[in-house]
Chains A and B, each alone.
Chain A
Amino acid sequence: MKKVLYRNQLSKFLGINLIAIMLFSVSLFSQSENADPAKGKQIFNQNCASCHSLDRKGTGPALRNVESRLADEEGLDREWIYAWVKNSAGVIKSGDSYANKVFAEYNNTAMTPFPTLSNEDIDNILAYTAAKEEKPAASAVVPTTGEGSSDSSGVSNEVILGALALVFALLVAMLFMVNMTLRNIAKANGIDVEREKAEKRIPIWKAFVKNQFLVLVSVVFLLLTSAYFVYGFFMQVGIDQGYEPIQPIHFSHKVHAGDNKVDCKYCHSSARVSKTSGIPSLNVCMNCHKSIYEYKGNPEGPSQSDIENGYTNEFYTKEIKKLYAAVGWDEENQKYTGESKPVEWVRIHNLPDFVYFNHSQHVTVAGVECQTCHGPIEEMEVVSQHAPLTMGWCINCHRETNVKMEGNAYYDKIHKELSKKYGVEKLTAAMQGGLECGKCHY
């Protein structure tokens, strides 16, 4: 999901306030005047959204208009809500009938107590839950300023090019006219401008064949050139740079790592401690996707290219359903069915078996960014192999990269001795023996 970016903060703010004020006016209960649905939304997303959503049953019940619903159906007031949010277990214990009913309805799972939330915070949340459903109208807002500026630069380029073309055309026309004029003058003066008959020459190819030296040179040149290309061709056999297979679930790194800024190592957690980065198991996906059941998408709406590729909200939502099917999640009842089916991802980065590569060495010890080897993953809708993953590529990096030694007690002594030996402060991996065969081949 894209973060909602308010293009026009002020008007948006006013609009929401307006809605809120309208709601307040029809509200049956006196509400504190300063309850702020925007703040409420923030608090809601931070604390409640992992279990509750507004319109849908999650781990907990849907919360749209919860206050009025409770008041209408159960006759419970805001004080009850305060008590419940701060310590639901206490309310249940007190024997409150509705509390116990809800508790039983949701598999006897008590709601996490939030004693840190103030009454004011809860007011804000309630204001948010009482707010009218946000229509995706916002997405219809036509982007203005940003696009405009980029357009203008495009236009100016075209104008310049157009002008240049015009100038060239004018030049050609002028030359033609000058020529015509000169011919006419010549004709008028009776000068014969017919070309002299060319002497009979040997055709160029025959001349070329006759010049044996030239033939030799060009043959050598041709052979060398073709050898160069053949070598190049063979050297890229088995190198899968740009390999971009279709995966069983269209998992978009762009949406996760780019738009939503999920840390790489949240999912690929074993990269910190293990040789493999680890493909996240499906239970990791479900940490978030238990509550994120549909793709609400870019608030600006899908871009032209997304639509061309079919990356609509419905498309992404369908992919989330594929995850549910694989992990065996029954959305209706918010339960695992136990019927799971592991996902067979297509492996993209394949090192040969005779190479030992350890992620934690690079990620944790050296602090290398994932993007250094994997490229701009956060921009990749479909992941492709960015680096050639050849030995030359590894070696180059080991030659050029300074090892991060500061603050690591392991390196203290080695750094002191090596920097004395080489007379430099910064040491590369190569200086430490990072080019030795056995460091990666065993």
Chain B
Amino acid sequence: MSSNKKYWKSEAELNPNDSIVEALKQNEFVQEIPVEDFLGNKEGLAASSTNRRDFLKYVGFSTAAATMAACEGPVVKSIPYVVQPDQIIPGVANYYATTIADGFDFASVLVKTREGRPIKIENNTDAKVNGSANARVQASVLSLYDSKRLQGPLAKGEAVEWSVLDSAVKSKLASLKGSSKQIALLTQTYASPSTTKLVAEFKEVYGDNVKHVTYDAISAEAALSAFEEKYGERALADYDFSKADLIVSIGADFLGDWQGGGYDSAYSAGRIPKKGKMSRHIQFEANMSLTGANADKRVLLTPSQQKIALAKLYGKLMGVSVGGNLPENISKVVDATAQEFKKAGKKAVLVTGLDDKDAQAIVLAINESFSSFAFDAKAPKYVRQGDAKAVAKLVADMKSGKVGALLMDGVNPVYTMPNSAGFTDALSKVDLSVTFAQNNNETVAVSTYAAAAPNYLESWGDVQIKKGHYALMQPTIKEIFDTRQFQSSLLMWMGSDKTYYDYIKETWSSSILGGGEWNKALHDGVYKASSTIVDVVEETVASVISEEPVVSSLVDLSMAASKLSKSTSSDMELVLYSKVGMGDGQQANNPWLQEFPDPITRVSWDNYVTISKADAEKLDLINDHVANGGLDGSKVNVKVGDSELKGVPVIIQPGQAPGSIGLSFGYGRKSGLQSEMQTGVNAFALYQGGVSNQSVSVSKADGMHEFACVQLHKTLMGRGDIIKETTLEIFNTKDHAEWNPSPKVSLNHEEVDAVSVSLWDDFDRSIGHHFNLSIDLNACTGCGACVIACHAENNVPVVGKDEIRKSRDMHWLRIDRYYSSEETFEGDNIKKDEFDGLTGDKGSLSGFGELEDPSANPQVAFQPVMCQHCNHAPCETVCPVAATSHSRQGQNHMAYNRCVGTRYCANNCPYKVRRFNWFLYNNNDEFDYHMNNDLGKMVINPDVNVRSRGVMEKCSMCIQMTQKSILDAKRDGRTVKDSEFQTACSAACSSGAMVFGDINDKESEVAELKDSNRMYHLLEHVGTKPNVFYHVKVRNTQES
């Protein structure tokens, strides 16, 4: 085909008279190569001692030499201890019980150390309170090895000696003693008896002008004041959700970080149907929270509507009339809830997350008047102590120059205060400011001195999480840098020569232990005071209090209720929340947490505005799947009062209450962070007055934002065999063949059970161990602690936002989140079954399109998926080099050194759980995360291989852990106890959703679970016979 089209490389070519084009036409190089200069000089060439032959000789020799040198193996040095510590045996892990108390997370944990370095956080099962580590606590071990940590004290950004800082502080404190200027301590919540005592002593030394102000970045002010007013103590009521048959939550994300968190294990205990009973959970909320996703009934309400609903609920329960307007369908739901609540009586409990003192007071009153078993006000929790009024007064005092010295610890007000500029300004009027911080954060930058603080894994401390429940913090590694903790510094500045360790020990033996042993307390990490008050309270609190409603305060409460009921709603309400991944942003430089996908939106490396579909359409906002497989979203400007955040990306969130948007804290930090981790926007700027719900104006901004989202499909598409679920009613009344049918296939034109047909020969696994992992979809809250635990245990690399966007995430364990397209998943199934023909009303073409779209208030289901360890594994049959093979113990092995990276296995895996190393993720500057620096590498588990580029990897069912359990038993000459077999995920799962064990041991828990009639396998009809099984999710939809 002839063509007279002209193609051109640059516009200049179109001009036929262009001299350059003409000149370049024949010349490859613009400038002449100076050949003449070089070769023209004959004399020089002749005089040169190096001729062509010599050159070739040199090249040949060096090539040969390099080749020969490469044959030599490297010399590896082994350097033993000079004096080996008694407790350390190289190659054997030591565990220490300690407690994290960073002002936001409070948990008693076990720390696994190898050769003196902490490598993993595990749950402390001895702890009765907050003994489980959430995703952030699991990841906190990596924050210890943060390469951006402060390595020593700074004065105005310059490194100084501690002695310089000490003398400056001491002289300043001495000069302020007895003066009119304040010495202020602005700190996190410690809940520490020793620190409280220490601060009191500090006051004694430096006089009455010492002020201690506690500040929580994310405040629980309303709940604290309400509790204080009613019970006279600044604390938070504790709840045991396992004792409740009906849980009503009005905006409380208690499976997240509500009032310090730690409620999920008790909640899950009540969610597993036992003897036909399980708890019922009704959630009124605006954002789709983790808690709402787990609820049996979820009602969409904006915060102002929630207040009215609460008032109405109060009215119904107490028999008083309360005004206020709610949509009719909502008031019906409130009425029905009140009915159910009354019926459940003592077994009902009400919680709220509204930042409103009246709302909190009403909730306390209702729980108390119903004598709720789950409600515990006698032994409250101390995990939030912040006092917003005192903080405001302190800032005002600073501004007016009344503060002489400000010592800060565990807080970053320049980042977390909505009026950050105001605080910076006030701080400049303080003569001396010292900030204790682990990294070079925003507050450090504007303080006189930065005191490098140790991580909690390097510190001593004690915590009283709940009244009577004490916990100890002990160092698990020698301080890595030149750091000193706040309490030690206070002791030093008071002129005491005691160490903080001695101080704690003294406090404990004098006022806490009461005859208990210090060493035992330290070993266990927790200590429960034997004081009778605590015990009695726990057992009888509900029954002692009269069953009559508390009359005395009824009038006040009615006032409160009517105040609530008058809440007016603005056009758009903002609900600020904290993500399970990022919390208040203290660990923003932790790549595990940045890459951790949010359980609800499945977006990593970002925060964003969540908005309902209806509102998004109004504002013309879209979420778009672009051609390269990534998710893009519109941007909005969000304005609260005077502060505005510009260009915040938008996620259209099914289940978001229309008229509300959500935005999470913890992102948008810049100072002291690696550039890769500087993601998102700072929502604290909108956190006016420490109230999480604000009226807001939203307007569309230009441009699109690129998200790194790991799950782009939203709904289950009516595939009820992936997540099987049923209602409690059907579960109780019908045969399991009905609600947990086994899949059928056609064999010789007859329908037979899918499991009875197989392409493969069976393998005898009856001898020895046969490992199975059980996952109960009822107990799984989707919290994601297992995901981080898996990262830590198995050296899973972090790949960064760009790679995640290309679906190259390396998570061995993912938690799939599905929405229903109809109101319920059951509705989806029915719709799909009723498809008739391709087109038309019930046509599958349009029908499937509709199914892709989640409902406005969908049901949600979580499903952790890792390698299913199929007995008949499709991946094994297609591996050309036999790199993956199965074992008789039920684990599907992966020999990395054998893998050549064809990726056939990943293609043939029906569960899509295999992960390919597209790049070298360690020692590679392109992936500058913890595996690229010596400090971060300390977290690597030495028992698990670090994979290289071009290799397929996947969940190994923690074979290093099962092998260790077996070896320990062999060495002791005994059989393995059931509880000894664990995987990282099952050990991290505090809700009891994941149970691991040996099904050949008929006594084991997992064998029992496998026999349960709720048991099913994922994609059973494929015939892979997995060794991971799930339990049918049961929803308590029965309105009693």
Q: Residues of A with Cβ closer than 8 Å to B? A: 237-238, 240, 243, 245, 270, 273-276, 278-284, 326-328, 340-347, 350, 352-354, 356, 358, 360-361, 364-365, 407-414, 417-418, 421, 432-433, 436-439, 441-442
Chain B, interface SS category: loop
Query: Do B887 and A433 touch (CB < 8 A)?
Result: yes
Measured CA separation A340–B943 after assembly (Å): 30
| Residue in chain B with minimal CB distance to A415 | B767
* Contact among B898, B945, B970 with A437 in the assembled complex (CB-CB below 8 Å): B898
Alpha-carbon distance A273/B895, docked complex (angstroms): 26
Partner of A361, one of B84, B90, B766, B970: B970
- A327 near B77 (CB under 8 angstroms)? no
- CB < 8 Å neighbour of B959 from A327, A365, A418, A442: A442
When A275-B91, A278-B90 are in contact, do A358 and B967 touch as well, CB less than 8 Å? yes
- Counting residue pairs across A and B whose Cβ atoms lie within 8 Å, the total is 154
In the bound assembly, the distance between CA atoms of A340 and B876 in angstroms comes to 53
User: Contact: B896 with A439, CB < 8 Å?
Assistant: no
Contact of A344 among B79, B767, B893, B975 (CB under 8 A): B79
Chain B residue with the shortest CB-CB distance to A420? B767
What are 28 A-B residue pairs whose CB atoms fall within 8 Å in the complex?
A238-B73, A273-B89, A275-B91, A278-B80, A278-B90, A281-B82, A282-B81, A282-B82, A344-B77, A344-B79, A350-B73, A350-B76, A354-B945, A408-B973, A409-B974, A410-B975, A410-B976, A413-B975, A414-B768, A417-B766, A417-B768, A421-B767, A432-B768, A436-B885, A436-B887, A436-B888, A436-B893, A441-B895
Cβ 8 A contact of A354, one of B896, B971, B973? B896
> For the complex, what is the distance from the CA of A360 to the CA of B90, rounded to whole Å?
12
A347 vs B91: C-alpha distance in the bound complex, in angstroms? 16
Interface contact B90-A345, CB-CB below 8 Å: no
Measured between beta carbons, the chain B residues less than 8 angstroms from A353 are 945-946
| B937-953 CB contacts (< 8 Å) to partner A | 943-946
Across the two chains, which residue of chain B brings its CB closest to A278?
B90
Q: Is B960 in contact with chain A by the CB < 8 A criterion?
A: yes
Q: A270-B92, A347-B78, A441-B893 are in contact. Are A356 and B84 (CB under 8 A)?
A: no
Is B730 an interface position by the 8 A CB rule? no
- Measured in the bound complex, the distance between the Cα atoms of B79 and A340 in whole Å is 13
Q: Which residues of B contact A413 (CB under 8 A)?
A: 975
Contact partner, B83, options A279, A282, A347, A417, Cβ 8 Å? A282
Size category, B interface: 35 or more
Q: Beyond the given A433-B887, A436-B893, please list 20 additional residue pairs across the A-B interface where CB-CB is below 8 A.
A: A273-B92, A273-B971, A274-B91, A279-B78, A281-B82, A283-B83, A283-B84, A328-B82, A340-B83, A343-B80, A344-B79, A354-B896, A354-B945, A356-B963, A360-B971, A410-B966, A421-B767, A433-B888, A436-B887, A438-B885
Contact of B75 among A281, A340, A346 (CB under 8 A): A346
Partner of B91, one of A278, A284, A352: A278
Q: Is B532 an interface residue (CB 8 A)?
A: no
A411–B971 Cα distance when bound, in Å, is: 11
CB < 8 Å neighbour of B84 from A284, A328, A408, A437 = A284
Q: Could you tell me the distance between the alpha carbons of A421 and B766 in the complex, rounded to whole angstroms?
A: 11
CB distance from A420 to the nearest CB of B (A): 9
Given the interface pairs A273-B89, A442-B945, the reply to whether A409 lies near B959 with Cβ below 8 Å is no
B897 CB within 8 Å of chain A: yes
Nearest CB in chain B: distance from A400 CB, A: 20
Chain B min CB distance to A246 (Å): 10
Hey, what's the 0/1 contact readout for B63-85 against A, CB within 8 Å counting as 1?
A: 00000000101011111111110
Query: With A360-B971, A365-B967 in contact, is A438–B76 under 8 Å at CB?
Result: no
Per the bound structure, the CA–CA distance linking A441 and B883 in Å amounts to 10
**Once the chains are docked, how many angstroms separate the CA of A438 from the CA of B959?**
8
Residues of A within 8 A of B75 (CB): 245, 346-347
Q: In whole Å, how far is B960's beta carbon from the nearest beta carbon of chain A?
A: 6
For the complex, give the distance between the alpha carbons of A280 and B82 in Å: 9
Question: Is there a chain A Cβ closer than 8 Å to B969's Cβ?
Answer: yes
Q: How far is the CA of A412 from the CA of B975 in the complex (A)?
A: 9
Q: Output the least CB separation between B493 and chain A (Å).
A: 31
Q: Which of B44-99 contact A (CB under 8 A)?
A: 71, 73, 75-84, 89-92
Q: Is the CB of A342 within 8 A of B974?
A: no
**Nearest CB to that of A359 among chain B residues?**
B91
In the complex formed, the residue of B with least CB distance to A365 is B970
Task: Check if B891 is an interface residue, CB within 8 A of chain A.
Answer: yes
Q: Does B419 contact A (CB under 8 A)?
A: no
Report if A327-B82 is in contact (Cβ < 8 Å); known contacts: A438-B959, A439-B963, A442-B960: yes
For A438, the closest partner residue in chain B by CB is: B893
Contact with A along B512-542 (1 / 0, CB 8 A): 0000000000000000000000000000000
Q: Residue on B with the closest CB to A361?
A: B967
Please name all residues of chain B whose beta carbon is closer than 8 Å to the beta carbon of A326 when the two chains form the complex: 82
Min Cβ gap B964→A in Å is: 9
Question: How many whole Å from A237's CB to the nearest CB in chain B?
Answer: 7
Q: Which residues of A contact B90 (CB under 8 A)?
A: 270, 274, 276, 278
Q: Which residues of A contact B944 (CB under 8 A)?
A: 442
Which residues of chain B come closer than 8 Å to A365, judged between CB atoms? 967, 970-971
B789 within 8 A of A: no
Q: CB distance A417 to B767 under 8 Å?
A: yes
A417 to B894 CA separation, bound complex (whole angstroms): 28
Does B956 make an interface contact (CB < 8 A)?
Answer: yes
* Cα A282 to Cα B768 with chains together (Å): 42
Query: Which residue in A282, A341, A356, A421 is a CB contact (below 8 Å) of B960?
Result: A356
Find out whether the CB atom of B77 lies under 8 angstroms from the CB atom of A409.
no
Q: What residues of A have a CB within 8 angstroms of the CB of B767 in the complex?
A: 414, 417-418, 421
Taking A279-B78, A354-B945, A365-B971 as contacts, is the C-beta distance between A437 and B89 under 8 angstroms? no
Q: Which residues of A contact B889 (CB under 8 A)?
A: 433
B89 contacts A270, C-beta separation under 8 Å = yes
CA distance A360 to B950 in the complex (A): 33
Chain A to chain B: the 6 pairs with minimum beta-carbon distance, closest first: A438-B893, A274-B91, A281-B84, A281-B81, A347-B76, A279-B80
**B893 — which chain A residues lie within 8 A by C-beta?**
436-438, 441-442
Give complex CA distance A413, B970 in Å: 13
Name A440's closest neighbour in chain B (CB-CB). Answer: B895
Cα A338 to Cα B810 in complex, Å, equals: 47
Contact B943 A356 (CB under 8 A): yes
Min distance, Cβ A200 to any Cβ of chain B, angstroms: 48
Name the residue on A nearest B891 (C-beta). Answer: A438
Partner of A410, one of B73, B77, B898, B970: B970
Best-buried of B77, B885, B898 by chain A (most CB within 10 Å): B77
Please measure, in the bound complex, the distance between the C-alpha atom of A278 and the C-alpha atom of B83, giving whole angstroms.
Answer: 13
Contact A346 B77 (CB under 8 A): yes
* Residues of B contacting A280 in the complex (Cβ-Cβ under 8 angstroms): 80
Chain A residue numbers with a CB within 8 Å of B894 are 437-438, 442
Interchain nearest-CB distance for A145 vs B (Å): 44
Min CB gap B757→A, angstroms? 27
Known: A352-B897, A417-B767, A437-B893. A410 touches B969 (CB 8 A): yes
A322 to chain B minimum Cβ distance, whole angstroms, is 13
In angstroms, how far is the closest chain A Cβ from the Cβ of B884? Answer: 8
Say whether A408 contacts B768, CB under 8 Å: no
- Using Cβ atoms and an 8 Å threshold, which residues of chain A touch B76? 346-347, 350
Give every chain B residue within 8 A of A432 (Cβ-Cβ). 768
**Hey, what's the 0/1 contact readout for B951-986 against A, CB within 8 Å counting as 1?**
000001001100100110111111110000000000
| CB nearest to A416 among chain B residues | B767
* Cβ contact of A281, chosen from B80, B971, B974, cutoff 8 A: B80
Distance of A51 Cα from B768 Cα, bound (Å): 53
Contacts of A243 in B (CB 8 A): 73
Report A-chain residues with C-beta under 8 Å of the C-beta of B897.
Answer: 352, 354, 441
Bound Cα distance A353, B97 (Å): 31
Query: How near does chain B come to A403, taking the closest CB pair, in angstroms?
Result: 10
Task: Give chain B nearest CB distance to A67 CB in angstroms.
Answer: 38
Name the distance in Å between B84's Cβ and chain A's nearest Cβ.
4
Complex contact A278–B967 (CB within 8 A): no
A276 and B84 CA atoms in complex are apart in Å by 15
Of all chain A residues, the one with the shortest Cβ separation from B898 is A437
Q: Are A437 and B83 in contact (CB under 8 A)?
A: no
